[in-house]
Amino acid sequence: MILDAAANQQQIGSMKVLRRYERWRKGDNLLMLGVMDSFKRLFGASLPPAPLLRNMGLNLTDAIRPLKNRIARRAMGLEGDLPRLARPVW
């Protein structure tokens, strides 16, 4: 958004540009907030089946390397609909 705004000679700090960026990133941010909240609830649960289900899920995820790698890359901000300036340069 910043690069596009600068190329179009718009003020990069204008509300129009910032709102456009906010709307674009909101979905990914809400998804990550939901995932983190789920982890908090799962690890904070004290009901007897919670630790068993949690451990089964973590072991399954650990055993499926492509799934584990994809989750890790997404959590690190290396995957998804990223801004150009935030994309990894390999």
pTM strictly above 0.95: no
Report yes or no: 17 and 1 within 8 Å, Cβ to Cβ.
Answer: yes
Domain boundaries, the chain: 1-44, 47-81
Crossing angle of helices 49-63 and 15-44, rounded to 10°: 120
Detail the DSSP E strand segments found in 1-90.
Answer: none
**Per-residue model confidence as pLDDT tens for the chain (90 residues):** 888 899 999 999 999 999 999 999 899 889 889 988 988 988 898 888 888 989 999 999 999 999 999 989 888 888 888 888 888 887
